[in-house]
Amino acid sequence: MFSQVHDTGLLGVSMPRADRLLYLTLHPVRGLFAQSPILLAGAAGLIAMARTPGWRLEAAVLTAAVATLLVINAGFPIWWGGRSFAARHLVPCTVLLCAPIAFLSPRWRPVLLMLLGLSIVQMAIATATTPIPNDDALTAMLGDPAPLGWTGTSPIWNDA
């Protein structure tokens, strides 16, 4: 199965698909922002960083890096990265989206604390229990371009 995936496109990566981009970012089962909501603040922080004189180039580089990772993974048939509770190919995005949080104004503090608290709780549960969702539906998608749908919950809360 994996050799067939990697034989298409460039090392398995072809044109990105919008449904995969949604699965990678917002979908409750494995979406980056669903699993670690504090990273939403990082995305907002990129805008604040870009508006800060002297930091525009860094904001552009971080934005380009995150966008590149998202586009490449949205073009990869095994976008979820195998048996893991989150889209594991997006791990570098977690680091890239943390620094821009520092550029958010202090009025964001209550929202940041809420997002950080939820992220910490979810990652603590994931670390303690190692939730692994069933990949049968996702693996079936390799031969069928039909969208996964907006069903399911995070394996952190569902399977832990």
Q: pLDDT digits over 109-155, tens only?
A: 999 999 999 999 988 988 888 776 666 655 555 555 455 555 556 66
Segment (H or E) for 113: helix 109-129
Q: How many angstroms separate the CA atoms of 38 and 33, rounded?
A: 7
Q: Is the pTM for the entire model greater than 0.75?
A: yes
* Torsions phi, psi for 46 (to 5 deg): -60, -40
Torsion (CA) 69, 73, 79, 84 in degrees, nearest 10:
-10
Grade residue 68 by pLDDT with cuts at 50, 70 and 90. very high
Segment (H or E) for 128: helix 109-129
